[in-house]
Structure formats: structure tokens, C-alpha cells
């Protein structure tokens, strides 16, 4: 292999690696601001706390660079926005939902799980009139239940957790069976320590590389009839929600969909903005600039084509 060919291969690898890293970065800024209420002709604020964090745009949905709307949550009868798809032929229909008018945009907050991301987005727009949907990650979504074996399907190594960033053994968990119970197990996995015996909370002490950034644990396996439950550091990073095979006939171009991490959702819950209501402002990171990170990939590709043509 001559020097020119080697250089070409190197550029291809660098560009591919750079594009992969850039694709994993959060590209949206989300800000929550308390609503102002009018009482006796004066403007008052329910909550004076505003919070802001980064989020990741889905591969499907609107490409809007900015959007603002009232924060709402999914109704109790359809908490995952999956029920209206499963109830067909007129059986067990769900109650009607009053959609917001065109002047009042809403941003719906929905947990991950039960159906695909794009189906949730379609439901949020088509059934509930939302302009945007924020799908937040949760530990319980990493586990599924096997109806055939009556055992738990555990999270995937590398994709959901990294044992090199921390691992330990927990004992006597109420898991496998039964299925993962978020209310019971999330606090033990590190989501919160309120009213929990600290001695029973997951403690990742065996760290080979870097400390567990999320400070969250996932049970990775379990031998039948064993009291031991190996746990490892859970990833809690931005993820790009893919296009769904079961939503190819759905139009989701008019709703903005974004991913929210577990810790960012926890921050939102603790802020009190969920109960008091708030206005959500979503903007593209660096939206005031004409620069786009995809230009880097385009430049690398142009350099590659030029070198290959010259060779």
C-alpha cells in the first residue's frame, strides 16, 4: 500500500470516527420557566426557579431550530402514549382529550417504554395536539419480561451499562421474578436516596477505568435461586432515537421529538416545575450562528474526494 492510499484510508477512518462522535452529542437546549399567573390584576409567579439542560433530537420529526410551549404530561389513562394503538376495533376506547388550540403550543413529557419512540411522537401530535414531545429515559425501560420463561430479560452490555466503570454485587432483590418494579427498585439503584437505607443502595466500588458518571446501577444478570445480583454502572447519555419500522406510514414531520436523560428528568421533578406548570423553550445549540457541525463532515468528505481524484 503506497503513501497516498494509506492517507486516504486514514482520512476515511478519521471522518467516520468524528461523525460518530458528533452524532452522539446533544444538539438542543431546553429551558423550563415557571408560568406567571394573574391574580387580582397583578402578575405573580408560582415558582421562581428556572432550569436548563441539553437534549438530543430524534432522527425523525420536525427539524425546527426553536420552539416554545406549555409543559404538559401524558394523561393517566395513556401514560406511555401507546394505549390508543393497542385498543382497536372500538373495544375499551379511551376518553376524549381536549387538544390545545393552534395559538397555544404544548410540549408533552412522556416516559420511555411500551412502544417505539416514533409511535409516541405520532400519538402526541395526532391524538393530543402537542407541538413537541420529550421522551425521558428510565431504568425500568432497560428490562423486559419474558412471558415464555417467566424470567426477566436483562439490559445489554455496552449499550446499557459498562462494568469497567463500576461493578458490585447486591443481594436479595425482588427481581427475576417478579418483573422490574421501578417504584421499589429505582431508589436502590441510585435514582434517589430519600427515605432509603443508605446501606442498601447500590455502591459501585470496583472501578477499572473511570468512576460511574451517572451514579446509577443496572442488574446485569441473575442465576435462578441465587441471592446474588451483579450490578454495573448504567449509561445515562444522550441517545438519538431512530426511525421506527412500525411507524413508516405515520407522518411525524410536524412534531419535534427529543431525548431527556434520567438525571435531567430527575432534576426536573425535584424542581417542582412539573406540578406548578412551566413554559418550555427549545432551541438548537448555537442557533444564533450559521455554523453547523455537519460542515465538519462535509469538509472531510470533500478533502477525501479531492485526494482520491488526485491519486
How far is Cα 172 from Cα 22, in angstroms, rounded to an integer?
A: 41
Q: Is the pLDDT of residue 15 over 50?
A: no
Residue 18 has pLDDT above 60, yes or no: no
Domain ranges of the chain: 26-137+238-292, 141-234
Q: Compute the distance between CA of residue 154 and CA of residue 180 in angstroms, rounded to an integer.
A: 10
CB contact at 8 A, 268 and 280? no
Can you tell me which residue has the cell 441539553?
54
**Quick one: fold of 26-137+238-292?**
Glucose Oxidase; domain 1 (3.50.30)
Q: Is the pLDDT score of 10 beyond 60?
A: no
The pLDDT score that the predictor gives to residue 196 is: 59
Tell me the C-alpha distance between 70 and 67, whole Å.
11
Least confident piece of the model among 48-57, 94-103, 266-275: 94-103
Question: Do β-strands 66-73 and 228-234 pair in parallel, antiparallel, or remain unpaired?
Answer: unpaired
Instruction: Answer yes or no: is pLDDT of 293 > 60.
Output: no
Q: CA dist 150 to 92, 113, 181, 229, Å? A: 27, 19, 15, 17
Minimal CA–CA distance to 125: which of 40, 209, 64?
A: 64
Evaluate if residue 17 carries a pLDDT over 50.
no
| Residue 92: CA count within 13 A, CB half-sphere | 7
In this structure, what C-alpha cell is assigned to residue 306?
Answer: 479531492
Give the pLDDT score at 98: 85
Other beta carbons less than 10 A from residue 17's beta carbon: 10
Winning range, highest mean pLDDT, from 28-37, 52-61, 94-103: 52-61
Mean pLDDT of the chain: 82
Averaged over 14-22, what is the pLDDT?
40
148-169 residue pLDDT tens? 999 999 999 989 999 999 999 9
What is the arithmetic mean of pLDDT over 125-141? 96
Segment 210-222 shows an average pLDDT of 93
Q: pLDDT, tens digit, for every residue of 122-132?
A: 999 999 999 99
Helix (H, G, I), strand (E, B) or coil at 119: helix
Amino acid at each position: 500500500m503506497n503513501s497516498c492510499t494509506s492517507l486516504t484510508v486514514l482520512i476515511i477512518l478519521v471522518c467516520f470516527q468524528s461523525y460518530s462522535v458528533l452524532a452522539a452529542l446533544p444538539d438542543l437546549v431546553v429551558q423550563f420557566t415557571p408560568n406567571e399567573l394573574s391574580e387580582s390584576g397583578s402578575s405573580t409567579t408560582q415558582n421562581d426557579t428556572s432550569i436548563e439542560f441539553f437534549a438530543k433530537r430524534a432522527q425523525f420529526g420536525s427539524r425546527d431550530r426553536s420552539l416554545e410551549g406549555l409543559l404538559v404530561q401524558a394523561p393517566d389513562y395513556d401514560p406511555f402514549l401507546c394505549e390508543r394503538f393497542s385498543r382497536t376495533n372500538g373495544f375499551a376506547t379511551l376518553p376524549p382529550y381536549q387538544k390545545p388550540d393552534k395559538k397555544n403550543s404544548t410540549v408533552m413529557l412522556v416516559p420511555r417504554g411500551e412502544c417505539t419512540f416514533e409511535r409516541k411522537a405520532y400519538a402526541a401530535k395526532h391524538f393530543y395536539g402537542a407541538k413537541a414531545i420529550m421522551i425521558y429515559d428510565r431504568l425500568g425501560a432497560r428490562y423486559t419480561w419474558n412471558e415464555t420463561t417467566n424470567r426477566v430479560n436483562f439490559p445489554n452490555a455496552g449499550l446499557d451499562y459498562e462494568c469497567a466503570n463500576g461493578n458490585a454485587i447486591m443481594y436479595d432483590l425482588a427481581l427475576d421474578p417478579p418483573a422490574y418494579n421501578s417504584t421499589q427498585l429505582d431508589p436502590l439503584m441510585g435514582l434517589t436516596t430519600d427515605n432509603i437505607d443508605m446501606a442498601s443502595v447500590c455502591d459501585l466500588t470496583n472501578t477499572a477505568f473511570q468512576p460511574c458518571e451517572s451514579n446509577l446501577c443496572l442488574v446485569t444478570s441473575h442465576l435462578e435461586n441465587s441471592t446474588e445480583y451483579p450490578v454495573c454502572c448504567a449509561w445515562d447519555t444522550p441517545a438519538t432515537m431512530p426511525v421506527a419500522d412500525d411507524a413508516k406510514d405515520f407522518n411525524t414531520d410536524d412534531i419535534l421529538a427529543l431525548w431527556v436523560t434520567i438525571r435531567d428528568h430527575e432534576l426536573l421533578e425535584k424542581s417542582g416545575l412539573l406540578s406548578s406548570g412551566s413554559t418550555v423553550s427549545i432551541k438548537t445549540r448555537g442557533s444564533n450562528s450559521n455554523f453547523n457541525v455537519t460542515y465538519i463532515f462535509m469538509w472531510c468528505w470533500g478533502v477525501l474526494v479531492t485526494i482520491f481524484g488526485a491519486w
